[in-house]
Every structure is written in C-alpha cells, then in structure tokens.
Structure 1
Amino acid sequence: MATYDKVYTVTSISHLIPIKLDLSKLNYPHWSKLFSVHYEGFEVGKFITTAPTPEELASATWRKSDAVVQTWIYSTISESLLERLLNSNSTSAFQAWSFLQKIFQDNKRSKTLELTAELCNVTIGDQTVEESFIQSTKLQHN
C-alpha cells in the first residue's frame, strides 16, 4: 500500500489557491487547474482521479489521507457549493471532485443553450440578429 506522507504537510490549500470555486462565477476551469497543480505536487492525484478500491476503503491510512484531500476541496469552494456537496453524501475525495465536475459540465451545456437563445432574441433596431445578419450578407454581395 502506498503512503501519502506529503499530504500531511498541508491541511488546507485555500491560501495556495487564490480563487474559490463558485457556480455564479463559472470559474471551474481555473480552479481545477490550480487545484490539480497542487494535488500533483503533493502526489495525491490518485485520490481525485481514481475511484477508491475496496482495499483502500478498508485502510485507515488511505482514509486519513483521503480525508485531508477532501478538506482541501471543502476549503476552496463557495459556501453554496459546499452545502450542495455535503448534502450529496460523497464519501471520498474522488466522489467530491466528480460531483463538482458534473455540476460544472452540466452547467456549461445549459449556459450555452441559454446564451444561444438570448442571442437569437437580441434585436438590432426592429430586426432580429438573424435578420440583420442576412441583410448585411446580401448588401456585401451586391
């Protein structure tokens, strides 16, 4: 069984990650990049990227290290996301990370659809964006 001694040198990385993950700011790409730099540096990427095996779950050492990584996640997310995460009943850093990742991946799709619909409803004068585009294209070809 691998040991993860480096994980115990830092109990909170919130001072190393200057932004809090926040759904309203859509800052997941920046937050996850900064977070991954630290989990790789502390050699605990496995806790985030791989579901725990039954042997790991049975190991007190593994559970203790995983708990530290979970606290890293908790300390770097907004209060509203923390509440959602705690209500999700995730039991490992991997599950917590996956839960947050899913929220932001799902949100990206819905935000794209929302913005596309918003753009389609924008008017320029008395024309929609689409009508204005068609008219400007016709003018360019004449």
Structure 2
Amino acid sequence: MADQVSAAPLDRVYGVTNIKTHVLFLLDIDDGNYDAWRKLFRTHCQSFDVAGHLDGTVLPANDADEAWTKRDGVVKLWIYGTLSKDLFRSTFKTGGTAHEIWLRLETFFRDNKEARVVQLDHKLCSQEIGDLSIHAYCQELKSIADLMANVDAPVSE
C-alpha cells in the first residue's frame, strides 16, 4: 500500500492530455515570451513532480529504466506541445532527453541576447502611438521595457 501512495504523484503526469490547458500560451520566437513561458512551464513540471527531468537532477536508474523513459517522454511532449511551429522546426532533433531539449531552448534564446537587445531598443525608440489609446501605448512601452530587462538590458525610468 505504501508503494502505491509514493507512486501516485508520478502517475499524475500521465493525466495531462492537453498541456495547453496548463501552459496557456505558446513559446514563440517573435513574441519575446521565453522568460514567462519558462517560469510557467517549470512551475507546471514542479507541480507534477517532474521538474528534475528539466534540470537533469532526475536520472534513469539504468539503461532499462522504463518508468523514467516514459515520464521523460511525457515532459518532452509537453515542451514540444507548447512551442510555435517555427520554433519547433528550429529546435527539434530526434532523440535526446527533456533536459537536453530544455538546454537547447535556453541556448537558443540566451545566445541571441545582444541581437534581441538591439531589436527591442529599436522598437522602443520607434514606437508610435498611432491608433492606440494612451493606456495601450503605455502598456506597449512597458512590455518592451520588461522584455529588455529579461535580456539584462533594463530601461531606466
């Protein structure tokens, strides 16, 4: 009976049939939402006791650890299920673990920091109010400033 209780949290991972009901938006190259996606996705994995598959702290007991392989497969499906089509095409490789995919995404977004700073700075400096309300315009400026802070280029007040 004790074995069933301890196994129950790991079995919950198989109950998530649609990851998009838990992670409410797609990670997209152009949306600048990596940090928000990363935090939400990691929190989701923590609540299902599989965050170790992301950070590499949970490893298979041996080459035949089928339970670990299945859970890792579910986490990989969750990751791929929350990527935009373009990002999926850019980062997909056959094989590998959820941890390797997680690191590949981290590298993809973090290695492009300088280019992203230049792009966001240009967007901030050239943002026009156009047909936006004052509130919407200010929200857009704040959003750009937040994205710049996420890539270690905070905008002063």
Structure 2 unmatched runs, 5+: 1-5, 127-157
The AA in structure 1 aligned to 2:104 is F
SS of 1:14 mapped into structure 2: helix
The match for 2:107 among 102, 110, 120 is 102
State the TM-score, normalizing by the size of structure 2.
0.65
Structure 1 unmatched runs, 5+: 123-142
Runs of 4+ in 1 over 3 A off after TM superposition: 51-58, 113-116
Number of residues paired by the alignment? Answer: 118
CA distance in 2, matches of 1:77, 1:70: 11
Larger radius of gyration: 1
SS of 2:88 mapped into structure 1: helix
The match for 1:93 among 87, 94, 98 is 98
The AA in structure 2 aligned to 1:92 is T
Q: Which has the higher contact order (CA 8 A, sep 6+)?
A: 1
Matched, 1:32 2:26: no
2:72–2:97 CA contact under 8 A, matched in 1: yes
> Residues 99, 56 of structure 1: CA spacing in aligned structure 2 closer, same or farther, 3 A cutoff?
farther
The AA in structure 1 aligned to 2:79 is I
Matched, 1:77 2:89: no
Instruction: Provide the aligned C-alpha RMSD in A.
Output: 2.6
Q: Which residue of 2 aligns with 1:58?
A: 64
State the TM-score, normalizing by the size of structure 1.
0.71
| TM superposition shift of 1:74 | 0.8
User: Percent of aligned pairs with the same residue?
Assistant: 32
